[in-house]
A and B are shown apart, each in its own frame.
Chain A
Amino acid sequence: MRTHRHIRGWRGVGLVALLLGLLLGLLPVAAWSATELKIAYMPHPIHENSIKWMKQYAEKNNIKLTPVPMAYEVYLEKVLANLTSKGGQYDIMWHNDDWGQLWGRYMEPTEDVESVKKMTRFILEPPFIWEGKNTAVPFVETVGTFFYRTDLLKENEVPRTWDQLVKTSQRLQKEGKVKWGFAGGMKHPHGWFTFFWSIWANGGDLLLPIHERRNEELAKAGWKSGIAQPEAVQAVEFWWDAIKTHKISPPGMPAYSRDDANAIFMAGDAAITMADTTLYGKFNDPKQSKVAGRISVAPFIMGPSAKFKSIAWRDAWAWAIPNHIAPEKKKVAKEMLNWLILNREAQVDLWKATGGFPPNEDVQKDLMRDDADFRKFRAATVEAQVLIHGAYYFERWNEFFATSIDYLVKAVTGPREGIKATLEEGAKKASEVAARK
């Protein structure tokens, strides 16, 4: 009797176990039915904002979204390894404008993503056009601007020239209001925030002819580096003096990344910094920044040799889809990215939360009408007299960029009288790199 009951008991346990097993077995099946999209991104406010909205779309459309964060310093290498090996690690990847020509051959054309037609052609060409076809879906415009402390400077006191930058900084330092007048990233790959803007604002450029970005024209000119031209030499001398003579910038600045400089600005130790508008949200976040609520933006601080009134760069960060992934994944990814750009709420949130310009021009028009801050940001940046791209779009750009920065850093950390010679050596080397096949 006892044995029978015992056996029945075990049968019951077996049945429950069987049911549980079936249930557990079905769970993964249910999960498989959702399309998984793995996204390679850099932990940065604009990426995070974009992914936040993608998650909303994913939830409603049975997509499993797996964001894979990577540091900027290793991003290129890791994504490159995936693209060249046709690995399955990522289905959507952050695509910086200056990698456009490098990765073009590995990217899925996005001509059929309707929302791209809402964007200015300037941010797409030449960066993302490969063999005549667009290969990216920009999710934010990246434009550099000067951030200043409104508690230290009134709008009419913000420096417009290098000379004014020195004098204003020294005044604030003398009054004990701030430790440094200006802090910005200098080392590779952060040269935009000191060397590049100053060379551009002084009428120079990294390659000649100035402001040219078409490879055919640059090749015709012999891939001639511009870092030993008088405008660039003057810019480096300005930094040398700013650090060593006027002491308006930290002595360690030649080794600074943008993060180092941002930390100084957010700690309240610098009056002015140069950064992408996309960092506005971070600078204004009281949890991260001591200067939250006390910052505004201003146009490029112009050098003495510029022949124009103002200049700015206008580029985009994009999402892109590797061309080796499965067609059904490509389709789902394109639909999601299209939704992201056409979603007015998401586009406005991108601007409000981060300071990044939404690439959808219709939304920009609305913001121009309704948002005073946006009007100010646009006036300080993309409405400049001269608009350029902040990078170049040839295959050896990365090596050329690193080589140029290395020599600029070498010049600014060496003796002042050696600046010209160092830059001439650097220009020769950089030209060789750019011209190399």
Chain B
Amino acid sequence: MRSRLLGRFGERERFMLALILPAVVILITFQIVPILIGANASFRNYSLFNPQKTFVGFANYRRILTDPLFFGTVLPNTFVFMIASVSGGLLAGLTLAMMLNRRFRGERLVRTAILLPLMVAPVVAAIMITWMFNDQFGIANVFMQALGFEPVPWMISRWTAMTVVIMTDVWLWTPWFTILILAALQSLPPEPHEAARIDGANAWQVFRNITLPLLRPVLMVCIVIRTIDAFRVFDIVWTITKGGPARSTEVFSIYAYKEAFLYLNFDMGSAASLIGAVIIMVVGGVLYKALSYMVEVSR
């Protein structure tokens, strides 16, 4: 039986299978099995203090999908964060890349300095930001007062707290956008730009009609990767606001985490995670289609 099965493959295929086997085993053990266990938990009454683990069908999913907090706060926050953070990082990254795409004195130093946020662990950055925006001791309010404004208690309202979180994420991710876009800019062919200038196009027209369309595939790859990553943001939101005040800055991953590990409803936490997985698969699918289209168009 064994030899018949293996006999279907040639020596080369068997060698290839042997090479990928360790990776497959690791993937199954640490990814597939936990996902299946989680999926199983989401269909049961599964909590730390309930050893019965009774099968409840889609009850946990129903509870999440009818939770006003999930639709009224968590999903909007997740998408607001995703859109604001990705577009903010992209715009800042694009601007910096355009500025750096020329020769100037101190060019290397500036490029290195711009990379610094990438070297800071997100949690460390978030702790720094929390102190900077502390209403009593933070530097942000020192500036506010120097400018003649009242100090702001940043963390007690949804939108000021959310703004701090988004700004932190933009600060952390801008260098990543900058590097990728700068690399793309430096690999663009010079001819279209030269031709446009000869035809009398100004700098904005060159950027708008030549540079940007040529950058489109790279920009789309950046957007797709960052969007999926931003959807599952956890560390900086947890460190800065913990989803507060009063759950008003909770994003999807914090919601699932709180259900599972704070309220100890492993069933609800698993169901929330799977709902999130479906949402991000849909978002990812749409973005992937858009990416394919953009790449096709730019050819």
Contacts and interface: CB of A to CB of B under 8 A. Distances in A.
A398 interface: yes
B261 A406 contact: no
Contacts, number: 78
14 contacts: A77-B261, A77-B262, A102-B48, A251-B153, A252-B136, A252-B153, A255-B241, A267-B137, A395-B48, A406-B246, A409-B244, A409-B246, A410-B245, A410-B248
A263 B137 CA distance: 10
Contact of B49 (A102, A188, A407): A102
A313 to B, nearest CB: 23
A254 interface: yes
- Is chain A's binding surface mostly helix, strand, loop or mixed? helix
Interface in A239-289: 250-252, 254-255, 260, 263-264, 267, 269
Interface string B259-283: 0011111000000000000000000
Contacts of A76: 261-262
A413 B157 contact: yes
A188 B254 CA distance: 14
Interface in A201-241: none
Interface of A: 73, 76-77, 80, 84, 102, 105, 187-188, 250-252, 254-255, 260, 263-264, 267, 269, 395-396, 398-399, 402, 406-407, 409-410, 413, 437
Contacts of B262: 76-77, 398-399, 402
Most chain B beta-carbon contacts within 10 A, residue among A77, A252, A254, A267 = A252
A402 B263 contact: yes
Contacts of B244: 187-188, 255, 406, 409
Contacts of B182: none
Given A260-B134, A409-B245, A254 B156 contact: yes
B135 interface: yes
A76 B261 CA distance: 8
A252 B155 contact: yes
Contacts of A80: 48, 261, 264
Contacts of A407: 246
Nearest to B151: A251
9 tightest A-B CB contacts, nearest first: A252-B135, A252-B153, A255-B155, A399-B263, A410-B246, A395-B49, A251-B153, A77-B261, A409-B246
